[in-house]
């Protein structure tokens, strides 16, 4: 029997999701490691024309936003807070 080289240190679950709110589509990707939310990222596109509208990320308690200068961010930040809260609510069930 061959000696095993890999020693598993942790295991994570990666989730891809999509949210459509108003005129925007949010492509969301997040992961859980040890039943805790790790990184959550969200690319934003306009539903019509698929035009890029921004990026939002939460990792290790830090949140970053990246938007084109002409984009109004209030709607997106509000949507992100809801998305983040929903993902965090799933921590205990993973």
CA distance 32 to 50: 29
Tens of pLDDT, residues 36-94: 899 999 999 999 999 999 999 999 899 999 999 888 899 999 999 999 999 999 886 65
The pLDDT, as a whole number, for residue 23 is: 94
pLDDT at position 94, please? Answer: 52
Q: DSSP labels for 19-86? A: EEETTEEEEEEEEEETTEEEEEEEEEEETTTT-EEEEEEEETTEEEEE--TTS--HHHHHHHHHHHHH
| C-alpha span between 81 and 76 (Å, rounded) | 9
Q: Which residues contact 59 (CB under 8 A, 6 or more apart)?
A: 38, 39, 40
pTM listed for this prediction:
0.84
- 34 pLDDT exceeds 90? no
Rg (CA), the chain: 16
5-28 mean pLDDT: 93
């Amino acid at each position: 029997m061959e000696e095993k080289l890999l020693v598993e240190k942790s295991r994570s679950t990666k989730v891809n999701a999509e949210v459509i709110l108003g005129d925007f589509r949010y492509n969301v990707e997040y992961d859980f490691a040890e039943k805790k939310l790790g990184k959550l990222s969200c690319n934003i596109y306009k539903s019509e024309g698929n035009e890029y509208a921004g990026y939002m990320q939460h990792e290790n308690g830090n949140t970053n936003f990246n938007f084109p200068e002409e984009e109004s961010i209030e709607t997106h930040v509000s949507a992100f807070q809801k998305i983040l809260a929903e993902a965090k609510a799933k921590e205990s069930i993973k």
